[in-house]
Amino acid sequence: MKQTTRTERLDKILSNSGFGTRKDVKRLVRSGEVLVNGEPVKNPEFHVSIEKDTLCVEGVDVKIKWHAYFMLNKPAGYICSTKSGAYPTVFDLLDESDRRTYLGGDLGTIGRLDADTEGLLIITSDGDLNHRLTSPKWRVPKTYLVHLANEVDEQERESYVADLARGVHIEAEANAEAVDCLPAQLEWCDVQENDKTAAAVCKITVYEGKFHEVKRLFAALGNEVTYLKRIRMNRLFLDESLACGQYRELTKEEFDLLSTLNDEGV
């Protein structure tokens, strides 16, 4: 996905790709069963180009992965942290073979969702991308489906939209200070059969990632969020065919939708 001109030692690539310890892979390389661009290479320290070279081990082609990019449909009850406490972590949802250090770095989540929030969560080892997408500078849009506890009449609906479009002041919570939020967009939705407990349903798009931002915004408007699901980050939408708790690698097209930033960063 990410173009890199980097090279890496053959033994490091192999141990990182699940072929055993450095000692195991050294033995494997010396056996002559490892081909780089179709030729046996017996030196474990040989540098392989991540982008250009091909690798074949014991007759099987190996895809060299510098970074991992996963889309997870996060279920409620999991936290976005590497350390579990009262809740398991989102990393516990990954297969053991995916839950590892990649050549490009350790896995992290792009932004955080609360334990009770569901939906689109990107897990990646690409720290640069993570930094760009979470930096306030780029004002990356994030859209959430929201269920509200209190009914909202037609007039209030209009004032919610107008207030959010102007920017709403949210109160301090835990260690997060009170702050004026950037303008956000609100779209009202019909309450569907499966939204039984919701008095009102809407979609909100926010451009920053403040602590409990969506919940605090609706609290400031006099309502309460009873269900929250992220459905979009930047131009990438959650693949709704992923069941809650399932994940998969991003396609190249999805990676582009996620990572391409517009020029409106400030």
**For residues 138 and 128, what is the distance between their CA atoms, to the nearest angstrom?**
13
Q: Return the range that interacts with ligand URA (CB under 6 A); candidates 71-79, 152-160, 213-221, 239-247.
A: 213-221
**Do 69 and 255 form a contact (C-beta atoms < 8 A)?**
yes
The identity of residue 158, as a single letter, is E
If binding is defined by CB under 6 A, does position 117 make contact with ligand URA? yes
With contacts defined by CB under 6 A, name the span among 7-15, 87-95, 127-135, 211-219 that binds ligand URA.
211-219
Active site residue 114: yes
Rank residues 56 and 244 by Cβ distance to ligand URA and give the closer one: 244
Residues 66-85 that bind ligand URA (CB under 6 A): none
On whether the CB atoms of residues 136 and 245 are closer than 8 A, the answer is no
3-state helix, strand, coil in the chain (%, to 5): 25, 30, 50
CB of 265 to ligand URA, least distance (A): 21
Closest CB to ligand URA among residues 163, 213: 213
User: Does residue 98 interact with ligand URA by CB under 6 A?
Assistant: no
Q: Helix (H, G, I), strand (E, B), or coil: what is residue 46? A: coil
Selecting among 24, 61, 95, 114, the annotated active-site residue is 114
- Which of 13, 72, 113, 164 binds ligand URA (CB under 6 A)? It is 113
118 binds ligand URA, rule: CB under 6 A: no
Regarding 228 and contact with ligand URA (CB under 6 A), the answer is yes
Contact pick of 114, 195, 208, 239 for ligand URA (by CB under 6 A): 114
Q: Does 215 bind ligand URA (CB under 6 A)?
A: yes
Whether 45 contacts 29, CB under 8 Å: no
The answer to the question of residue 213 lying near ligand URA (CB under 6 A) is yes
Length of the chain counted residue by residue: 266
214 near ligand URA (CB under 6 A): yes
How many angstroms separate the CA atoms of 37 and 48, rounded?
A: 10
Q: Is 186 in the site for ligand URA (CB under 6 A)?
A: no
Coil, helix or strand for 221? coil
As measured in angstroms, the least distance from the Cβ of 60 to ligand URA is: 41
Beta pairing class for 236-237 and 60-62? unpaired
HSE-CB of 159 using CA atoms within 13 angstroms: 10
Residues 211, 206: Cα–Cα separation, whole Å:
12
Residues serving a catalytic function are 114
Question: Which residues contribute to the site for ligand URA (CB under 6 A)?
Answer: 113-114, 117, 212-215, 228
